[in-house]
Structure 1
Amino acid sequence: MRITLVGSRHFGVTTLNMLRERGVEVVRVVVADAEDRLVAAAQAAGIEVTVQANPKLVVAAEIAPQTDLIVTAHSHARVARQALAAARLGGIGYHPSLLPRHRGIAAVEWTIREGDPIAGGTIYHLADRMDAGAIAAQDWCFVKPGETARELWERALAPLGQRLLAEVIDYAKAHGSLPAKPQDEQFATKAPSLVPH
């Protein structure tokens, strides 16, 4: 299976490492920032790196030829419809909430702010609307009393994301397709940035 990985930061690096450990061929890494730590990790592994022309959008030309699947890992860019069409199985991403709850850039922060006793993570199909594609895999975890968003991410949600991504990619390798269950829109909530821009 040939994967184009779109990502950044620590979660992007751990996803790259997890994919390589599973024997998946990461053919290109796409980043919004040429200085991101994922660039160094990809280059050290001999993987081609492409820097997005627009940090908010991944276009078809930035996807490696003969890509089977696009995987996003800590990317805040929308993957254009034409880019998804360039990959045989489209694309998947990890969102650190039980989608459709807390759609948006600050899902973990909103989980804490809303006092949710349970959090979770979702592997979802990339689609035109952010965080709104069909669900490929989902699991939950408890939120500790007094836990910060960063603590919750590091303790539970980042490892959960790695495990779910691995499960979905193993499924795709075995079946040549991805599981898909529509999101239930009646439970959708927004998680916009809490930091003024």
Structure 2
Amino acid sequence: MRITLVGSRHFGVTTFDTLRKHGAEIVRVVVADADDRLAATARAAGIEVTVQADPKLVAADEIAENTDLIVTAHSHARVSSGALAAAKLGGIGYHPSLLPRHRGIAAVEWTIHEGDPIAGGTVYHLADRMDAGAIAAQEWCFVRKGETARELWERALAPLGQKLLAEVIDYAKIHQTLPARPQDEQFATSAPALTA
């Protein structure tokens, strides 16, 4: 399984490690910032790093040749339809909510803000609309009383993301396809950045 990984920061690095532990070949890492820790990790492992020309968009020419799957991990850039078409299986990302609930950049913060007793994570197919592609894997967890967004992310949602991404990668390696079920739009909510 040849993967182009698009991402940043700690979650990008842990995803890098998870993918490699599950036998995926990361052929290129795409980052918005050349100094990001994911870029440094990839360079240290001898893997090609490409810096996005536009930090808000991943272009087709930024995807490595013969990529089977694009995986995003803490990337806020939209992956263009051309880039998705350049990968045999398209692309997947992890979103820290039970999609279609809390689509957007501040999903964990909205989970806390809304007082949701249950949270979760979703590995979903990248699509034209942000966080709206078919669901490949999903799992829930309880939210502890008084827990902050950061605490919820670190305790449950980040590890859940690694687990779900690994499951989907393992499935794709065996079946050469991705599981997919559409999101139910009647339950969609948005999670834009919260202002203090």
**Unaligned 5+ runs, structure 1:** none
Q: Aligned residue pairs: how many?
A: 196
Please state how far the C-alpha of 1:20 moved relative to its aligned partner: 1.0
Asked if structure 1 preserves the Cα contact closer than 8 Å seen for 2:22 and 2:169, the reply is no
Q: Which one-letter code corresponds to 1:190 in the other structure? A: S
Letter in 2 for 1:164: L
- Equivalent-residue separation in structure 1 for 2:46 and 2:148 (angstroms): 37
Cα deviation 1:30-83 (Å, max 9, x = unaligned): 001111100110011110000000000000000000000000000000000000
Amino acid at match of 1:99: L
1:75 aligns with 2:75: yes
Code of the residue aligned with 1:31 in structure 2: it is: V
| 2:103 paired residue number | 103
**Runs of at least 4 residues of structure 1 off by over 3 A?**
none
Give the Cα separation in 2 of the matches to 1:111 and 1:195.
15
Residue 29 of structure 2 contacts residue 48 of structure 2 at CA under 8 Å; is this kept in 1? yes
Gaps of 5+ in 2: none
Q: Which residue of 2 aligns with 1:145?
A: 145
TM-score by length of 2: 0.99
Shift of 1:22: 1.4
Task: Give the AA of the match of 1:176.
Answer: Q
Give the conservation status (yes or no) of the 8 Å contact 2:101–2:190.
Answer: yes
Question: Residue 155 in 1 paired to residue 148 in 2?
Answer: no
The equivalent of 1:120 in structure 2 is 120
- Per-residue Cα deviation, 1:104-140 (whole angstroms, up to 9, x for no partner): 0000000000000000000000000000000000000
2:62: which partner in 1? 62
Per the alignment, residue 190 of structure 1 pairs with: 190
- Give the secondary structure class of the aligned counterpart of 1:12: helix
SS for the counterpart of 1:104 is coil
Number of the residue aligned with 1:47: 47
Q: How far has the Cα of 1:26 moved from its partner?
A: 0.1
- Match in the other structure for 2:4: 4
Instruction: State the superposition RMSD in angstroms.
Output: 0.7
1:21-40 to 2 correspondence within 5 Å? 21-40=21-40
3-state SS, counterpart of residue 155 of structure 1: helix
Secondary structure (helix, strand or coil) at the match of 2:170 reads helix
Query: Given the alignment of the two structures, is residue 132 of structure 1 paired with residue 125 of structure 2, yes or no?
Result: no
In 2, Cα distance between equivalents of 1:169 and 1:176: 10
Q: In structure 1, the residue corresponding to 2:14 is in which secondary structure?
A: helix
Identity %: 83
Per the alignment, residue 174 of structure 1 pairs with 174
CA distance in 1, matches of 2:195, 2:161: 24
For the residue of structure 2 that corresponds to 1:108, the secondary structure is helix
Scaled by the length of structure 1, the TM-score of the pair is: 0.99
Q: Which moved further from structure 2: 94-103 or 187-196?
A: 187-196
Please tell me the residue identity of whatever aligns with 1:96.
P
Question: In the aligned structure 2, how far is the partner of 1:39 from the partner of 1:29?
Answer: 7
